[in-house]
Amino acid sequence: MTVKRSRMDRTLMQRLGFALMSLVAMLTIIPILAVIVYIVSKGAPAISWEFLSGFPHDGMRAGGILPAIVGTLYLTLGTAVFSVPLGIAAAIYLSEYARENWLTRAIRIAIINLAGIPSVVYGLFGLGLFVLFLKFGTSILAASLTLSIMTLPVIISASEEALRAVPQSFRTVSIALGGTRWQTIRRIVLPQALPGILTGVILGLERAAGETAPILFTGAAFFLPQLPHSPLDATMALPYHLFVISTQVPEMPIQIQYGTALVLLAFVLLMNVTATVIRSRARARRQW
Amino acid sequence: MDKIVIEHLNLQYSDGTESLRDINLSIPAHAVSVLFGPAGGGKSSLLRCLNRLNDLTEVKVASGRILLDGENILDPKTDVIALRRRVGMVFARPVVLPMSMRQNLTYALELAGEKRRSRLEEAVERGLKLAALWDEVKDRLDEPAIALSGGQQQRLCLARVLAQQPEVILLDEPTSGLDPISTAKVEAALQELKKEYTLVLVPHSVQQAARTADFAAFFLQGELVEWAPGKEIFTHPQQQRTEDYVEGRFG
């Protein structure tokens, strides 16, 4: 009798425990839903063709946010140009060529620490190195390079993981069939790892697109009457613009602030969804 | 005629443990030579010396020579890529590359720079016919190779090696994961293939060794105990240890 009761107690405890954990798990959905619902409901009225395609006027209290949208696109592309090839190359080196020794361990520790540096520190570093020392000025180039350094660890880690996930046996077979190491990487490993790499790249770029601090001193402009013409021009950007109109401009209409937040959120969520779609499609097609 | 001559081969793992001890062996062309014995005897390590696949792992050849048509392939100056084109390998588990059957078969030739369609087509058909797979797959060559059954995949791996037209084919327990019918098909293919190729087989059982061997080498703990024509070694072994193993007294 006593045995039976204690077993019932245990099952009851287990059920209670699982119920509690699933409740907590479900609670994590609430903040993200709340943010989306709040921003959409407040910002949606501001969205119009003029808002997306026009320049701001009346001290940014009216008009559109086109220069900020275009600027964020430029910065994201600029970041991709530098960080994607470098990041993938570094990941290939770490996963396919490097032997485990003190050097690779040091590189890995550096990558982990690079990912932990606060973004405002990157901003200051970019100001010192790219803007002042290399004399790029406050520009898309300097801001993109700064964002690239910040994004690199994400891209390297995700790419290395994707490369390592490709079964070792594929490499052995390819080598046994007379393939060189590079042929094996080029024809087997990279194509198989590509969806995982792309997912990491997009998630890294997504973070760069939403950052304010790294571009604050390196490339973001308070207001520009025209779109940037060259990589050496400064640019407006969505996150910085949002910061400006939320804190620096008195008597700012609130729906423009939320409209801008909505556009930035949509931009980032779109990238996120793209990454998810790529990943799930690749998983369905995967042949191993 | 001896295709491969192994002289005083010693092999060690990087941690210092010995894998092969003073192996001397002459492998004749156009025959099935079987390397058999209990696990850990060094058969696979020896096999992987013959195409220098050991270069990839933590194994180092301490000393000795392996002559392929009179040339020492352990020489550091050996072109290992060219060597692996001449010495193909089939692994214990069928590893089809994540591409279509046709692409699996043309892979090695394309790596070698072959672009002519006719040559590639020819190699596909030739390989599949020799591996006795042609009739089963000829209408669906562009489907993913992973869709094949295990037995078919292993014959595809054999066909893939054949498509690159090697001189020697190394087989490392090629039927260990296969059902008896698929195993019989592979074994039958080997008997056909030996007319053209030099085959070195690590069998997955003594019975398979006895069924397939023209010549057989018995390996025990890194040592070559006996090397004789298959008919003799499985009926009248010279060494007591060989006899004990063949008759199942240990294993």
Partner A contacted by B146 (CB < 8 A): yes
Q: Is residue B113 part of a domain?
A: no
Q: What is the CATH number of the domain that holds B7?
A: 3.40.50.300
Whether B169 has a pLDDT exceeding 90, the answer reads yes
Whether B158 has a pLDDT exceeding 60, the answer reads yes
Q: What is the total count of domains within chain B? A: 1
Partner A contacted by B160 (CB < 8 A): yes
Domain assignment of residue B27, given as a range: 2-98+166-246
Residue burial A22-56, b: 16+ Cβ < 10 Å; e: rest = eeeeeeeeeeeeeeeeebeebbeebbeeebeeebb
**Interchain CB distance below 8 Å, B53 and A173:** no
CB A233 within 8 A of CB A38: no
CB A127 within 8 A of CB A154: no
What is the pLDDT, as a whole number, of residue A5?
A: 65
Partner B contacted by A175 (CB < 8 A): yes
- Nearest-Cα residue of chain B relative to residue A186: B111
Q: Which residues have a Cβ under 8 Å from the Cβ of A285 and sit 6 or more positions away?
A: none
pLDDT digits (tens, 9 = 90+) for B69-100: 999 999 989 999 999 999 999 999 999 999 99
pLDDT digits (tens, 9 = 90+) for A196-225: 999 999 999 999 999 999 999 999 988 888
What is the pLDDT, as a whole number, of residue A205?
A: 94
Amino acid at A113: N
- Nearest-Cα residue of chain B relative to residue A177: B108
Query: Which of residues A87 and B57 earns the better pLDDT score?
Result: A87
Rounded to a whole number of angstroms, the distance between the first and last alpha carbons of chain A is 52
Q: Is residue B87 part of a domain?
A: yes
- What pTM does this model have? 0.85
Spatial distance between the Cα atoms of A240 and A80, rounded to a whole number of angstroms: 19
Partner A contacted by B58 (CB < 8 A): no
Q: How is chain A split into domains, by residue range?
A: 63-285
**Interchain CB distance below 8 Å, A177 and B84:** yes
Task: Annotate A61-86 with DSSP letters as a single string.
Answer: TEE--HHHHHHHHHHHHHHHHHHHHH
Q: Which residues have a Cβ under 8 Å from the Cβ of A49 and sit 6 or more positions away?
A: none
- Nearest-Cα residue of chain B relative to residue A170: B97
pLDDT digits (tens, 9 = 90+) for B183-210: 998 899 999 999 999 999 999 899 999 9
**Interchain CB distance below 8 Å, B89 and A192:** no
CB B124 within 8 A of CB B205: no
Interfacial A residues in 191-210 facing B (CB < 8 Å): 192
Partner B contacted by A284 (CB < 8 A): no
Please, which pLDDT band fits residue A282 given cuts at 50, 70 and 90?
confident
CB A197 within 8 A of CB A87: no
A63-285 carries CATH number 1.10.238.10: no
CB-nearest to A192 from B53, B98, B160 is B98
Q: Is residue B207 part of a domain?
A: yes
What is the pLDDT, as a whole number, of residue A3?
A: 59
pLDDT digits (tens, 9 = 90+) for A155-200: 999 999 999 999 999 999 999 999 999 999 999 999 999 999 999 9
Which ipTM did the prediction report? Answer: 0.90
Q: Is residue B136 part of a domain?
A: no
CB A165 within 8 A of CB A100: no
Please, which pLDDT band fits residue A23 given cuts at 50, 70 and 90?
very high
Whether A4 has a pLDDT exceeding 70, the answer reads no
